[in-house]
Amino acid sequence: MTEPTSPPTERSNPDARDGTGCEVAGCDVAVVGAGPAGALAARELARSGLSVMLFDAARFPRDKVCGCCLHPDALSRLNHVGLGELPDRLGGRRVAQVEVRTPGARRTFALPSLVTVSRSALDAALTEEAVAAGARFLDGTRVRAAAVHPGGRRLQLERDGMCWSQHARVVLVGDGLAGGLLADEIPVRTVRHSRLGAGTLIDASRLAGAGLGEAQLVMACGAGGYVGIARLEDGRASVAAALARPEPHPAGWVGVRAASILVAAGLDLPELAGARWTGTPALTRRPTRLAAPWAFLIGDRSGYVEPFTGEGMGWALASALEVLPAVQEALLLARCGAAWNPRLGRNYVRGLRRRVGARRFACGLMGAVLRRPRWTAALLGLAARPRVARALVRHGYGRRVTP
């Protein structure tokens, strides 16, 4: 790649389209992907006085395939870093109930604490927080490569037709399930029969006709997967699905299958069959490791399991917080010219397992149950007993965590 004839434009906030030219000489930490994990990691590292660059391939603000739920774990972690008021500031909706439906049964559970907020609003706000802390943000920028370079990595970047390179002592890779940066160094193992993710956004006014309450989250389960519906703060509703891909799979099968699962569960939203859906790769996947020389995987790239209880963003935030000590130690090594130490990656793995390992395992078990409609219906039948219902809610949504 060639160096740009002029420096790329830096965005001082997600709404600005112009700004001062940014340095291309180098930085302490480059963060690739401005989702919850990347933006929070950039903020915390910048607050510690490091020079941080944050990149995202999309133009902000932008939506993402997501259930858009902030689980109590996620809310606890935001509160830990002084951002506990952020969901309310964005107008996030407090969810009082979750209704689980199958073709043969339905059950409504009272929730202790769950907030829905659009990814366009949440990711933009977290990015603004990172910029306010001192990080520099470039949206619409693709990181094409991050090759090992003395004392760090050399990034190859592209934005608006300009290409340039930049050195970073440490790189955090949080470019999502479909991200490919460092894929040649850290292969990903996809769990067999893993479902595909898909999402769309609809006008929330349509939900009233389907019998959905204002403060209600709905999960519809069927033989071909499950579909979640959540109202958002901006008048839209997020429809997120985990679906088994049929063979053969004709064009438009995602919308047809999602709509059929809802109909079988007693919810009629026929417009979903023809809606514009965005898909993701297989949801349940594990990288072979979480670190390579001078680089760490965070967010969905650090491993993912179908999060029926809406814990995906909580896991992402956990990885952002857990990687911080490893980054600081890696920077000390890079500054003094020492070699990369694989122990940093092992420490990060152990820490992340302590934070989210048990929850990911539990979600995996729940996913196994949800693949079998009869098991799901039997579980909902047991939940008719108040003690069982309280135990399920406490296990899925009410557990307090250490950030």
Average pLDDT, the chain: 86
pLDDT tens sequence across 167-189: 999 999 999 988 889 999 999 88
User: From the CB of residue 162, how many other CB atoms can be counted at a distance below 10 Å?
Assistant: 17
Q: Are 304 and 314 in contact (CB under 8 A)?
A: no
CATH number corresponding to 26-64+121-190+285-361:
3.50.50.60
Q: What is the mean pLDDT of residues 288-292?
A: 95
Alpha-carbon distance of 42 to 279, in angstroms, equals 27
> For the packed helices 312-322 and 72-80, what is the interaxial angle rounded to 10 degrees?
30
pLDDT for the residue numbered 215: 67
Quote the CA–CA distance of 276 and 202 in Å, as a whole number: 10
| CA distance readout (Å), 196 to 258, 311, 312 | 12, 17, 15
Question: In angstroms, what CA-CA distances link 115 with 88, 90, 213?
Answer: 9, 11, 15
Q: Residue 6 pLDDT more than 70?
A: no
Which CATH number is correct for 69-117+195-282+372-396, 3.30.1490, 3.30.9, 3.40.50, 1.10.490? 3.30.9
Which pLDDT does position 102 carry in this prediction? Answer: 87
The DSSP secondary structure of 306-367, one letter per residue, reads --TTS-HHHHHHHHHHHTHHHHHHHHHHHHTTPPP-THHHHHHHHHHIIIIIHHHHHHHHHH
CA distances from 168 to 26, 344, 384 (A): 5, 17, 56
d(CA 278, CA 274): 12
For residue range 77-118, what is the model confidence (pLDDT) as tens digits?
Answer: 999 999 999 999 999 999 888 888 888 888 888 887 789 999
pLDDT digits (tens, 9 = 90+) for 190-211: 887 788 899 999 998 888 777 7
The first and second tokens of residue 266, run together, are: 């007693």
Question: Where along the chain do its domains lie?
Answer: 26-64+121-190+285-361, 69-117+195-282+372-396
Question: What's the pTM?
Answer: 0.89
Two structure tokens written together for 40: 């929070």
CA distance 255 to 80: 39
How do residues 156-170 score in pLDDT, each as one tens digit?
999 999 999 999 999
Give strand pairing partners of 134.
none
pLDDT bin (cut points 50, 70, 90) of residue 248 is: confident
Matching CATH topology for 26-64+121-190+285-361 and 69-117+195-282+372-396? Answer: no
Residue 20: what pLDDT?
Answer: 33
CB-CB contact of 359 with 311 (8 Å): yes
Q: What confidence score (pLDDT) does residue 77 get?
A: 95
Q: Using one digit for the tens of pLDDT, what is the confidence trace for 23-39?
A: 356 899 999 999 999 99
